[in-house]
Amino acid sequence: MDLMNKKIKIEKKLDVTELDGEKVMIDFDSGKYFMIKGSGNDIWDMMEDNMDISTIVENLLKEYDVDREVCQESVISFVNQMKDYGFVSLV
């Protein structure tokens, strides 16, 4: 499966609040909360726009001084973590 061309679809509506440059995400169904900071904020924002992973990587490469391979691995890892939590799916 070529993950780079997969679009990300938000599957679970979370309550997301900005707090001191970080996103605090609350899953009221499970009672758990998560904090996202740094580039994770940008990745989440782009995920909400249903971008594909390749576009997210390209946007981050323009914004941050990071190696392409490291960026791809980080984005895929983040997306997979959100997928494991049931927050997103790949379409």
Q: Is residue 4 part of a domain?
A: no
Residue 46 confidence (pLDDT): 95
Is residue 60 in a domain? yes
Beta carbons of 35 and 52 less than 8 angstroms apart: no
Q: Please tell me whether residue 45 adopts helix, strand or coil conformation.
A: helix
Could you tell me if residue 58 is inside a domain? yes
Give pLDDT tens digits for 18-53. 999 899 999 988 889 999 999 999 999 999 998 999
| pLDDT (tens digit per residue) in 52-87 | 999 999 999 999 999 999 999 999 999 999 999 999
Q: Is residue 3 part of a domain?
A: no
| Domain range for 21 | 12-90
| 6 falls within a domain | no
CA trace torsion 64, 67, 69, 73 (10° rounding)? -40
What is the model's pTM? Answer: 0.88
- What is the model's pLDDT at position 2? 78
Q: How many domains does the chain fold into?
A: 1
